[in-house]
Structure 1
């Protein structure tokens, strides 16, 4: 994981030796084995597109919303997927209020790249009128507690929220047949997103000249 997303502090020689001994002995403070993942708890909200993930001591909330937007010129038949991250000082004292810092931007890019490059979400199914209107899907990731493995927790929170999200059904009407009519949920059942697969992020750490690997 990028050092920007990790808690950094100065270690004394004794602390470094202690960590090195623990690594060589495959001992962790929480008792996990080298490749044993943190416990995962996923809670879903009462509303569509809301999920909270707890990975060990880290908690991340994912919220998915959608609105009609213009597509990118080079991809007129595809919807748009964007990710925003919010770091609160209540989650970690190193986080600052105000504009997203480098860590928040980097985390959003990593999660976005995993979803986009794997083409997990079928963006072509989000097209309403080619070149004019598509669904823009927004994922907001709120860091509630930072206890490590932020990338993994944020990735799972994004996927869980996407899997439970339902967008409004819409149709074309009007005199020219190009007017978009968005139907309320009581009239037409909202539609789930088409998610082809679930790209799960797993972070690894390399220690002591990369001779030891831990997840």
Structure 2
């Protein structure tokens, strides 16, 4: 997928031969070793539930929000977790404005599977009233700059945003005790999400018939 997302980047034959020769010598064009990861930077300067991750020249912003919804009938005591991605044309000329394209949907699915299937977030802790009210957690991933490794950067941005998000505290009231009261942060301290573990995505690339393997392939050598 990484190569498809970078489909606007084209290399000449000389460029490809130069990169291949360097890789056979276990040197990348940026000086890193085969399994040396690019520098990772994470910023938390936009308030709770948001993060900005930079890996090399790739930047992804993650923003977490939540709302109360009715749970699925087959999971009355579980909240939900969903991923949405936005590819801005300013991040890469190959990204088209408007509705999410195939690549945006595919990236969202990969991050979604990594978080939901590993059950990283305790969805049962999102239940307020079984069968009636649960929290629906939404993660919006905004691609700000595409320099390759979108899966890795988006995955870390999602996790970082989840770890900093604080959901409102709730209680039950009303005459029948079935009314949900959402308390503002100045009345009751918001609660962090229960995150059991951190599934980290690491991209690997194979090059040529020699079977060269390395992690964190960047845009220029992922073709």
Give TM-score scaled by structure 1 length.
0.95
Q: 1:184/1:9 Cα in 2 relative to 1: closer, same or farther (>3 Å)? A: closer
- SS at 2:119 equivalent: coil
Q: For residues 175-195 of structure 1, what are the alpha-carbon distances to aligned partners after superposition, in whole Å with 9 as ceiling and x for unaligned?
A: 010000000100000000000
Q: Distance in 2 between matches of 1:161 and 1:6?
A: 25
1:130 CA displacement: 1.0
Q: Distance in 1 between matches of 2:120 and 2:147?
A: 27
Indicate the residue corresponding to 1:116 in structure 2. Answer: 116
1:12 CA displacement: 4.1
1:207 CA displacement: 1.2
Are the aligned partners of 2:67 and 2:135 in contact in 1 as well (CA < 8 Å)?
yes
Q: For residues 160-183 of structure 1, what are the alpha-carbon distances to aligned partners after superposition, in whole Å with 9 as ceiling and x for unaligned?
A: 000000000000100010000000
Q: Distance in 2 between matches of 1:180 and 1:106?
A: 36
Cα RMSD after superposing both structures: 1.4
1:27 CA displacement: 2.1
Give TM-score scaled by structure 2 length.
0.92
- SS at 2:41 equivalent: strand
Indicate the residue corresponding to 1:180 in structure 2. Answer: 180
After superposition, where does 1:12-27 map in structure 2 within 5 Å? 12-27=12-27
Q: Distance in 2 between matches of 1:91 and 1:162?
A: 23
Indicate the residue corresponding to 2:151 in structure 1. Answer: 151
Q: Distance in 1 between matches of 2:158 and 2:51?
A: 8
Indicate the residue corresponding to 1:84 in structure 2. Answer: 84
Indicate the residue corresponding to 1:37 in structure 2. Answer: 37
Indicate the residue corresponding to 1:135 in structure 2. Answer: 135
1:210 CA displacement: 6.0
Q: For residues 91-119 of structure 1, what are the alpha-carbon distances to aligned partners after superposition, in whole Å with 9 as ceiling and x for unaligned?
A: 00111100001110011000000001110
Segments of structure 1 that go 5 or more residues without pairing to the other structure are: none
Q: Distance in 1 between matches of 2:148 and 2:11?
A: 18
Q: Distance in 2 between matches of 1:10 and 1:155?
A: 26
Indicate the residue corresponding to 2:218 in structure 1. Answer: none
Indicate the residue corresponding to 2:202 in structure 1. Answer: 202
1:75 CA displacement: 1.2
The alignment covers a number of residue pairs equal to 215
- SS at 2:136 equivalent: strand
Segments of structure 2 that go 5 or more residues without pairing to the other structure are: 216-223
